[in-house]
Chain A
Amino acid sequence: MELIEKLGIDWKLVIAQIINFGIVLFLLYKFAFKPVLSALDKRKNMIEKGVNDAKKSEELLAEIENMKERALNSVKEKTAEMMAEAAKEASSMKQEMLAEAHNEAKKAIDKAKTEMEAQKQSMLKEAKSDIGRMIVAATTKILEREFSESDQKRLMEDAAKEIANVI
Chain B
Amino acid sequence: MKTTPRNYAKALAALLKTQPVTKELVQNFVKILRKSHQEKMLNRIVAIAEQILIEENGEIKVDVISASEMTEKNIADLGKMIESATNLKPLISYKVDKGLKGGVKLRVKDYMIDASLSGKIESMKRAFTE
Which positions in A face B, CB cutoff 8 Å?
128-129, 131-133, 135-136, 139-140, 143-144, 147, 151-153, 155-164, 166-167
- Cross-chain contact B102 with A162 (CB below 8 angstroms): no
- Cross-chain contact B106 with A163 (CB below 8 angstroms): yes
- Cross-chain contact A129 with B129 (CB below 8 angstroms): yes
B2-54 contacts to A (CB < 8 Å): none
Counting residue pairs across A and B whose Cβ atoms lie within 8 Å, the total is: 93
- Cross-chain contact B129 with A132 (CB below 8 angstroms): yes
B69-104 contacts to A (CB < 8 Å): 74, 77-78, 81-82, 84-86, 88, 101-104
- Cross-chain contact B102 with A132 (CB below 8 angstroms): no
- Cross-chain contact B77 with A156 (CB below 8 angstroms): yes
Q: Which 3 pairs from chain A and chain B are nearest by CB? A: A132-B128, A160-B81, A155-B103
- The one of A131, A135, A147, A160 in contact with B101, judged by C-beta atoms closer than 8 angstroms, is A147
Give the docked Cα–Cα distance between A145 and B4 (Å). 49
Instruction: Give the interface SS of chain A, mostly helix, strand, loop or mixed.
Output: helix
- The one of A133, A144, A163 in contact with B102, judged by C-beta atoms closer than 8 angstroms, is A144
Give the nearest-CB partner of A140 in chain B: B121
- Cross-chain contact B82 with A160 (CB below 8 angstroms): yes
Give the docked Cα–Cα distance between A89 and B125 (Å). 65
Residues of chain B within 8 A of A153, CB atoms compared: 77
**Chain A min CB distance to B54 (Å):** 11
- Cross-chain contact A136 with B102 (CB below 8 angstroms): no
- Cross-chain contact A136 with B125 (CB below 8 angstroms): yes
Give the nearest-CB partner of B120 in chain A: A143
- Cross-chain contact B128 with A133 (CB below 8 angstroms): yes
**Chain A min CB distance to B97 (Å):** 14
